[in-house]
Amino acid sequence: MESLSFHIQEHISSCLVTGGAGFIGSHLVDNLLLQSEAVRVLDNLSSGSFLNISKNIDNKKFKFTYDDVSNLQILKVLTKDINTVFHLSAYPEVISGAKNPEIAFNQNVKNTFCLLEEIRRSKTVERLVFTSSSTVYGEPNIIPTPEDYGVLLPISHYGASKLSCEALISSYSHTYGIKSLILRLANIVGSRNRRGVVWDFIKKLVQNSTELQILGDGLQSKSYLHIRDLIDAIFIAFAQIGRNKLPVDVFNVGNEDKVDVLSIARAVRDSMNLGDAQLLPIGGIQKGRGWVGDVTNMQLDIKKIKKIGWIPSLSSLESVIVSCNELLSEVRVPSLA
């Protein structure tokens, strides 16, 4: 995918990207290198991959540090003389989070606290961008769901940890004058993504081209956004930091529609030329969920971010199809028909 090249009105002279070797983080890093004087990446590669950022290793503006956000000495070094932090590192698993809640707490909440403490002590960091999630809303009774919806009652440990991070960021922003931007993301798809429903369906069909088992009843319906549209949204929302007086601002970043899991399964099956493969929903738990904590119906209200000039270029289904083709190309999966 080509990097975006539009001008950021709010200048980022130097920045740190936590989780910068991950799916979203690496795409962000590619674009930051086009317009920043220095980009530092901190990643322990627990969910990211060095391959995602390897092409930048000879770029003099780029520095990669293999370590964890919990390492306070490393954080102290990496936050020195930078003006912006993009905090993307997180434990990304919603499904497996119920088995070990402590992981989501340590890698999301505790690490965010450690980062905020170093930002507080820093003499140069002025702005923080945090990628949160639509899962903070739990199961809202208003869909599409706006940013001011409440009370927020997450139904997964992942969603709870993201909401906890939001609360910490808000308190630090109001107390210490840090300008913060919180982005609540829908399901993001695209190249380099080795998690989520599209990748899972590809793997299953490679293993068995005659049938595709689907978690839940297949009727779960959510918004999907392509990574290209997300990166565009991040920079457009970031430009707002210098335009308003709010210590912290929140934007939903999603699509104007949603798509159900069965439609995604058909799209992946067709992209792999496996039209005869049988789709087999294996039954849902708790109202058709695929797993404990699975939100069955989610669409974010994106009116707020649209007002500042952003709109997705692809629908949810289009995002899924483009993503599937990108992933098939990356892993060189041949036609299985």
How far apart, in Å, are the Cα atoms of 153 and each of 90, 140, 172? 20, 8, 22
Widest pairwise Cα distance in the chain: 61
Can you give the pLDDT at residue 97? 55
Residue 287 region by backbone torsions, left for phi larger than 0, else alpha for psi between -120 and 50, else beta: left
pLDDT of residue 138: 96
* Tokens of residue 229, six digits: 């549209």
The predicted pLDDT at position 181 comes to 98
Q: How far apart are CA 21 and CA 47, in angstroms?
A: 8
Contacts with 248 (C-beta within 8 Å, 6 or more apart), sequence order: 169, 170, 173, 174, 179, 180, 181, 182
Structural domains of the chain, with CATH = 14-189+223-253 (3.40.50.720), 197-222+258-297+315-331 (3.90.25.10)
d(CA 57, CA 64): 8
pLDDT score for 3: 41
End-to-end Cα, the chain, rounded Å: 27
CA atoms within 13 A on the CB side of 179: 17
Instruction: Name the packing angle between helices 316-331 and 261-271 (round to 10°).
Output: 40
pLDDT of residue 7: 41
DSSP notation for 224-252: EEEHHHHHHHHHHHHTTTTTS--SEEEEE
What pLDDT score was predicted for residue 259? Answer: 98
Sign of CA dihedral 222, 226, 229, 230: positive
Residues of the chain scoring pLDDT < 50: 1-9, 337
- Three-state SS at 181: strand
pTM of the predicted model, to two decimals?
0.93
pLDDT of residue 286: 76
- 3-class secondary structure, 58: coil
Residue 307's CB is within 10 A of a number of other CB atoms, namely 8
